[in-house]
Structure 1
Amino acid sequence: MICLDLKNGSQPAWVYQGISLSPSPVLLANDAAVALGTGATLIGVDLAGGAEKFTLDFGQDFQFDQLLGGYDGHVVSVLGSRLERRSEEQGVATSTSAVFGVDLRARRAVVIPIDPEDVGVPLKPVITSDYFVYADGLRNVSVRSTRDGGGLRWRHPVGYDLRPGLAVLGATVFAIGSEFIALDLATGKLRWKAKAERGMFASLGAGGNTVYATGTDPYGVHAFNAATGARRWFCETPRLNVDHPIAVGAHAVHVPAFENRNGFYAIDAASGRLLWNFTDGRETGVNDWQLSCDGAGHLVAQHFDRAYGLPVT
């Protein structure tokens, strides 16, 4: 785990060795940088100095595979398995996929079984204090509670073209496929929908009072009023990598190009004007660009073995 200073990331502020090789992002929770260890272990590292603050091991009956997100400042969700053994000699007999809600303060994990139709589906949930929102294996938008053992609140059928990445802005869930739909977070009631004239919507981003989606015919980014669904603008671009969410900053949105050597594009959030293209010119195969930005003007782009910090004003 590497910590980089936003003002000067040329040298790590600290490095912590010993986390899992799982390709999970680090979560900031309970005043620590939280990562997976081996087995069913969570490791918390001090943000200032990189020293280990805690290790929570939930034993041999579970396996943690991926950090999904966090809420309430001290609870993280983990995708993994519950293991059932015949005996110590025979080893693992069966495993059941599960989502674990881990309270870092109480040092307690609550197991939320995943429905059979969801097993094997890339789980890309949006997690809030009350809701676990995801696209399930039957092409529904599904919303579960984070408060009562993962009970199902509602399901909304979308169809075969539902994309796995959803977005939540305020009290609304957004999902995309051939249509862009907005659903009430509490009830699942349809608020509005917009249809792609050609192709489909492929990846999402949300910020302020606007939601964004990439389009595939032609390639580019669409912007919609989050409350009404009214179209704000469309910016045509070269072909995009639509397997990653749109990174939304205070004044611009950022989308990766289809080929790694072409980097990524910045689009003005207000006007939809294409601002610039950044690339290191390297073609690294499956090592896609990973983009992250905040409302304070920081943009961090990670590509294979390099991280780039770009001031965005």
Structure 2
Amino acid sequence: MARLPLVKLLLGVASILSYANSANSKPTPVVLWHGMGDSCCNPDSMGQVKQTLEEELPGVYVHSIMIGNSDDDDRKASYFDQVNRQVQEVCEQLKSHSNLKDGFNAIGFSQGGQFLRAYVERCNDPPMHNLVTFGSQHGGVSEWPGCRDRNDLSCSLARSLLLRGAYLSWVQSRVVQAQYYKDAKNYETYLEKNIFLPDINNEREYKNATYATNLKSLKKFVMIMFEDDDMVVPKQSAWFGYWNEEGVVIPLRDQPLYKEDWLGLKEMDKAEKLVFETIPGRHMQIELAYLRDEIIPKYLGGKRQLVFQVDPAWN
């Protein structure tokens, strides 16, 4: 009994030292993937996110994904390209960064969310720890996203091609948004013709076990839906929700994707790895304060408080 105070003291010191080492170590790197019509280095969007992360996580390495060789190439590639090719490029891009070799957390904005999920499923080297997605189209879209800027010729051209036929091979191979379009009334055609989404959702007859294994390795998969989202239809796609043939949105937990656990989401849910959040606003209306107060501290290793409690049985 006389040794208990010494034991408590040693454990207390160990706890404090452990916390100090953790607090003094470099924050886990963060990878960003922007949405449609945006670019890696837009000072009004990804630039602000990067700056906020650097302010809240001193010393953090932030990598904002760029497709192509310039900011303009990257923005155009958000409309015109093959997503499968982009994901492979990102697999190679992230593996080449020595700062990411021990793993990273990631935030995907709109379509960047399902693209980052594809990275996890197909590559995950270096490994992703936590994935946060904002207004992503995990379940697909049934309508074409609108063009907020009428002078955006790339957006207008992509939209006109989509309206001609999303499942035409030359549209599928060129228009990014066609590659996550899902016609619930023509599901078999979607499975046959869509070159991206049915694969990463393991919807076809062949189920890729590696996809589920890799996705289940995430510590947290955070899916955020915008309350007034009128660009992603249905907005519940942010949580894998989608229409049935009668036009009713079916939640993830009521779909075969979950019940038969095609991607490991059911197992993740039971392990409390899935997080479903709703925030006010329209598509991509994100307050930086929300990042500071909710996302960074909870999922990106933000400011922590030291909590030290001695087992009351030792008192």
With normalisation by structure 1, the TM-score equals: 0.26
Of the two structures, which has the highest relative contact order with CA contacts closer than 8 Å and spacing of 6 or more? 2
Flag the structure with higher strand content.
1
Higher CA-based Rg: 2
